[in-house]
Structure 1
């Protein structure tokens, strides 16, 4: 029984006794565990009656995957910090539903709700820093409410909520560090869309739009470190945030076809970018990334890459993905200067022979060339034996035998 034990008891006393909190679960029907109120997956059509209106030690409410249609007044525990109500068909949130937690609630997560107007009840949430709403048919965004929420909001997620134009009330979100907007028919973003969050926004994800170019507004985001555009018609990357220290760039399921353009726009991020993801575009060759000193992950699966000369050629690269490209050969220089490469994926390509230059990949741990039906292995590739047999995961076949079997059992018979 040392000082640490008694210090812990004193801390517990202060939390529970001096604060007036207790350990009782606020709902008799829901168990509590380590400050969490567990009401998920219980078939509830409403939140259970409260057993206490006093603040308790349990401040995180999970009530996901129920049939709750209404959040009524006096149904939420006092001083809750976090509420998750995903997969509930909520139609109504009473105006005073958050009265007991107006200055405590920091995070609210809703999905598959059925209300069509942003509730006036949100006006009470003066300390909300995270709001996530998804798969909800909102028609009335109640701009007064959404504007007021912006003064403290740090993380905002709006996915599949029927946005058709860029919301002007976002100009009030001056503290935002992460913004996720997806699943909408937005075709343009105003040039001033991010002006008031230019010095705070760090992560931006925009999905399922009809954008054809990276919006000019993105250029002003000087502190952005992650940028993601997925499922769009983007082919022009000119307005990337060149004054930022971007470390992750994701442009998936878009229309990028110009590899030279893709390589050139990455030059401002030569020392900062660690991940570039161009999955599911229209590239016919690998963009030139030889100048990138920090790039570790390059994702190029589901393109139209067939150029055998193009290659990654960046010394920091650790993970290279080229699955589902019509690539039939890889030139000797394509994988040179890749001393740290740990994983290379060439599944469902048209590769016919394993490149002898793979012999230099001394750190390779994962190699996948499954589905390359034309691949053959002969004694000409015997020099790859030391590298490939050290690979932890080696996937693929040479005709009727696996690559591992060929190099482990058959290649020793090759003439030296």
Structure 2
């Protein structure tokens, strides 16, 4: 049943009579709640509630235990109830662009999750239980207020993409070295000065590393992870640096890119983005500014036009986040 892009403020109780429904698209409406009768739809697999006016996850959702995909992006949700643990069949959960300040331990019960997007919220911490979600391949935490990442992140050995850009991190746990399936590592716009010893050497499968807009003054050593080369510009300004991962990990001293925006050929080479650090604007300040520009919903509940009609799929938000690897002077809209 597809009802997206209407002006529906309330669903009738009769929706519960459609007991064979498998997909229910209610995105881009004005819903503030869902009827209890929806629990009769015991075959429901996909529920899309993006771009509505929900202040909480409707309690009836927790009784839809056959759900595998749940989109709640761009609502006004402030908390996630412990009942979330009942949705054990979820493989994809999107809570992006809400007002959530805490993600409780219930998330650890969702052991079948492969994609979790809680970006653009107000999270300061993650529960240790996140490490129970051992099937996660994509974890998007960008544009929050995270101060730390739990050591249990190292349990996520299937993790391919980890988005940490624009938070308040000063470090990441050494246990990330266990996530050997990762091909993207992005901590742009934090307050980091170094990486754990040996981390990059352990994550040899990385094709893209983005360290831009932090407080790094040196690059990690190719073997130990300790810093070995100071990143400076002859003029004293901080350059936007790009080197290939192969150069960083296999050569004694990475060669500085001759031209800004230069990319290596082929996925095996990958990319290393060092970019700006320090200066008039710290990583924390960058993160705060990015949040102001991109996070807050308008009064009407709408978002930026390109985001409002973007097709939701497990890779879309990564494409958006990585698009053009923004240069100093602005984020992509």
TM-score bracket, normalised by the shorter chain, equals 0.5 to 0.7
Match of 1:383 in 2: 252
Q: For 2:3 and 2:253, locate their aligned partners in 1 and report how far apart those are by CA, in whole Å.
A: 50
State which of 174, 177, 180 in structure 1 corresponds to 2:48: 180
Q: For 1:229 and 1:153, locate their aligned partners in 2 and report how far apart those are by CA, in whole Å.
A: 23
State which of 123, 127, 132 in structure 2 corresponds to 1:256: 123
Deviation track 1:373-396 (CA, whole Å, cap 9, x = no partner) reads 37899xxx961439x987354556
1:220–1:241 contact (8 Å) kept in structure 2: no
Deviation track 1:250-294 (CA, whole Å, cap 9, x = no partner) reads 1111121124x2xx1212222x11111111111123442222221
Alpha-carbon RMSD across the aligned residues, in angstroms, is 3.4
SS of corresponding position for 2:176: coil
Q: For 1:168 and 1:299, locate their aligned partners in 2 and report how far apart those are by CA, in whole Å.
A: 36
State which of 279, 283, 307 in structure 1 corresponds to 2:146: 283
1:212–1:233 contact (8 Å) kept in structure 2: yes
Match of 2:97 in 1: 231
Larger relative contact order (C-alpha < 8 A, sep ≥ 6)? Answer: 2
Change (3 A) 1:157 1:308: closer
SS of corresponding position for 1:265: helix
Match of 2:22 in 1: 154
1:279–1:301 contact (8 Å) kept in structure 2: yes
Instruction: Tell me whether 1:143 sits opposite 2:13 in the alignment.
Output: yes
Deviation track 1:363-414 (CA, whole Å, cap 9, x = no partner) reads xxxxxxxxx937899xxx961439x987354556699xxxxxxxxxxxxxxx
Q: After TM superposition, which residue ranges in structure 1, 4 or more long, deviate above 4 angstroms?
A: 308-311, 374-377, 392-399
SS of corresponding position for 2:2: strand
Q: For 2:172 and 2:86, locate their aligned partners in 1 and report how far apart those are by CA, in whole Å.
A: 38
SS of corresponding position for 2:254: helix
Match of 2:195 in 1: 330
SS of corresponding position for 1:249: strand
What is the TM-score when the length of structure 2 is the normalising length? Answer: 0.64
Q: For 1:319 and 1:374, locate their aligned partners in 2 and report how far apart those are by CA, in whole Å.
A: 22
Q: For 1:315 and 1:295, locate their aligned partners in 2 and report how far apart those are by CA, in whole Å.
A: 8
Instruction: Tell me whether 1:373 sits opposite 2:238 in the alignment.
Output: yes
SS of corresponding position for 1:131: coil
Residue 168 of structure 1 deviates from its aligned partner by 2.4
2:211–2:275 contact (8 Å) kept in structure 1: no
Deviation track 1:3-40 (CA, whole Å, cap 9, x = no partner) reads xxxxxxxxxxxxxxxxxxxxxxxxxxxxxxxxxxxxxx
Alignment of 1:268-347 (within 5 A): 268-270=132-134, 272-288=135-151, 289-307=153-171, 312-313=176-177, 314-347=179-212
Q: For 1:213 and 1:398, locate their aligned partners in 2 and report how far apart those are by CA, in whole Å.
A: 35
Q: For 1:268 and 1:333, locate their aligned partners in 2 and report how far apart those are by CA, in whole Å.
A: 25
SS of corresponding position for 1:267: helix
Judging by fraction of residues, say which structure has more strand. Answer: 1
Q: For 1:204 and 1:374, locate their aligned partners in 2 and report how far apart those are by CA, in whole Å.
A: 42
Residue 301 of structure 1 deviates from its aligned partner by 0.9
Structure 1: 5+ residue stretches without partners:
1-129, 361-371, 400-416
State which of 261, 266, 273 in structure 1 corresponds to 2:130: 266
Residue 152 of structure 1 deviates from its aligned partner by 2.5
Q: For 2:149 and 2:79, locate their aligned partners in 1 and report how far apart those are by CA, in whole Å.
A: 20
Q: For 1:139 and 1:293, locate their aligned partners in 2 and report how far apart those are by CA, in whole Å.
A: 42
